[in-house]
Amino acid sequence: MVWNLKSYFNNGNERKYKEANETVNRFVMDVIKTKEKQNRYKTGVDLLSRFMALSLDLGFNDDEIEETWKFLRDIIISFIFGGKDSTSTALTWFFWLLDGHPQCKHLIHKELSMLMTSCHHTHPLNLTFNDLNNLNYLHAALSECMRLFPPVPMNSRLTVDDDVLPDGTHVGKGWFCYYSAYAMGRMERLWGSDCREFKPERWLDGNGVYQPCSQYKYPVFNGGFRMCLGKEMAYIQMKSVVVAVLHEFEIEVIGGGGTVEKNGGSAV
Ligand code: HEM
């Protein structure tokens, strides 16, 4: 009720929130308008330019294009919010864990140098999209890291109507439903008795090929219709960063590398 009152009277942190929202909206809209004025979207290869070029190809009138830009502004903001802290959080845990698992670090280096030799690349920054996709062990290690330390550890939904969950549980209208990817990643029932161990191998088949698992067992990117739209991009971004950093630097964590035990190691 307090929240509604503050919002109605445009007061306190609700006022601050609205002002902040307007600042962010204005900033993104300026980027879109500048691109439009300078015709830069025609040559740009970034996501926004591609969206703009597609929208302008549809031949909208001025009013329609203004609405499209607002829609595009919201898409861009959700991509920035969705993609910024999530990947950086995952990478922070990843480098921390890696220092505590030298064998895993060794296998990543090995996979990378084999790939670079087979592609005749001298620097990981020259790796292509397909090359990065072929890094199965690294993909597994990142997935394993996010199983134990999911960037979105808890998520919720508010029901718009009475409903029944697949297991028969009744959920009333207006109730909050939560799921915890953090707890699920540490459940013996789902991941076995070694669920507290950081084991990228659990994601690989006998040929070392990455095996994805059900979104509902591993809801790190959510599941169903509202699943993360940037999942594949996130993996590519994280892989590019990992290979570039490991190629140039030796990361040593102050106080020793990370293990699950060092950070709330209990199974659920
Ligand atoms: C490790 C990295 C990431 C994780 C763990 C992650 C996780 C998630 C989760 C849990 C959701 C569902 C949120 C909800 O509906 O309550 C989500 C949605 C979304 N994510 Fe990500 N995300 C990651 C990276 C990215 C990146 C890099 C982008 C874009 C470049 C992105 C774009 C989005 C968008 C647009 C949605 C909204 C989808 C929708 O509501 O239909 N995410 N993400």
Rounded percentage of the chain residues whose pLDDT exceeds 90: 71
6-27: pLDDT as tens digits: 989 999 999 999 999 999 999 9
| Single-letter amino acid code for the residue at 192 | G
pLDDT average, residue stretch 231-256: 94
Together in a domain, 49 and 181: no
Residue ranges in 159-223 assigned as alpha helix (H): 181-185, 188-191
Specify the ligand 1 atom closest to the Cα of 75.
35
Q: Could you say which DSSP state residue 208 is in?
A: S
* CA separation for the pair 218, 220 (Å, rounded): 6
CA distance 182 to 203: 18
Q: Whose CA is nearest to atom 21 of ligand 1?
A: 228
Residue 71 in any domain: the answer is: no
Higher pLDDT: 256 or 159? It is 159
246-254 average pLDDT score = 92
What is the DSSP secondary structure assignment for residue 221, as one 8-state letter?
A: G
Is the same domain home to 18 and 136?
A: no
Write down the pLDDT at residue 267: 58
| Cα–Cα distance for residue pair 94/145, rounded to 1 Å | 6
Quick one: which of 75, 78, 85, 82 has its CA closest to 32?
75
DSSP element (H, E) containing 164: strand 163-164
Spacing, Cα 116 to ligand 1 middle (Å) = 30
Q: What does the pLDDT look like over 68-118, one tens digit per residue?
A: 999 999 999 999 899 989 999 999 999 999 999 999 999 999 999 999 998
User: How far apart (Å, rounded) are the C-alpha atoms in residues 39 and 34?
Assistant: 8
Is 139 within the bounds of a domain? yes
Q: Do residue 50 and residue 103 come from a single domain? A: no
Asked whether residue 54 falls in the same domain as residue 88, the answer is no
H or E element in which residue 178 lies = strand 176-180
DSSP 8-state class, residue 217: T
Mutate to test the pocket of ligand 1, among 47, 86, 89, 155 (most ligand atoms within 8 A of CB): 86
Bridge-based pairing state of the strands 154-158 and 170-171: unpaired
Q: Are 148 and 185 in contact (CB under 8 A)?
A: yes
SS (H, E, C) 122-153: CCHHHCCHHHHHCCHHHHHHHHHHHHHCCCCC
Distance 228 CA to ligand 1 centre (A): 4
Same domain, 150 and 242: yes
Pocket of ligand 1 from Cβ distances under 6 Å: 78-79, 82-83, 86-87, 90, 151-152, 155, 220-222, 226, 228-230, 233-234
Q: What is the rounded average pLDDT for all residues in the chain?
A: 92
- Determine the Cα–Cα distance for residues 191 and 213; give it in Å rounded to an integer: 11
Task: For residue 79, tell me if it sits in a domain.
Answer: no
Residues 90 and 17 placed together within one structural domain of the fold = no
Tell me the longest C-alpha to C-alpha distance in the chain. 64
Report the separation in Å between the CA atom of 100 and the middle of ligand 1, taken as the mean of its atom positions: 28
Structural domain tally of the chain? 2
Structure tokens belonging to residue 68: 């499209």
53 and 143 inside one domain = no
CA–centroid distance, residue 153 to ligand 1 (Å): 13
pLDDT given for residue 257 in this prediction: 85
Same domain membership, residue 91 and residue 47 = no
- What's the sign of the alpha-carbon dihedral 8, 9, 12, 16? positive
Q: Measured in angstroms, how far is the CA atom of residue 157 from the centroid of ligand 1?
A: 15
Which atom belonging to ligand 1 lies closest to the Cα atom of 151? 5
Nearest CA, atom 1, ligand 1: 87
Q: The domain containing residue 146 runs over which residues?
A: 84-263
Q: Which two three-digit tokens encode residue 220? A: 């790190």
Q: Are residues 94 and 216 in the same domain?
A: yes
* 43 and 115 part of one domain: no
- Residue of the nearest CA to atom 40 in ligand 1? 226
Pocket test for ligand 1, best of 177, 215, 228 (most atoms within 8 A of CB): 228
Q: What per-residue confidence (pLDDT) applies to 263?
A: 74
**Considering the domain boundaries, does residue 68 fall inside one?**
no
Q: Show the tokens assigned to 235.
A: 């993996």
**Measured from the CA of 156, which atom of ligand 1 is nearest?**
16
Question: In this structure, are 234 and 157 located in the same domain?
Answer: yes
Residue 150 lies in a domain: yes
CATH of the domain at 98: 1.10.630.10
Question: What's the pLDDT score for residue 158?
Answer: 95
Residue 212: inside a domain: yes
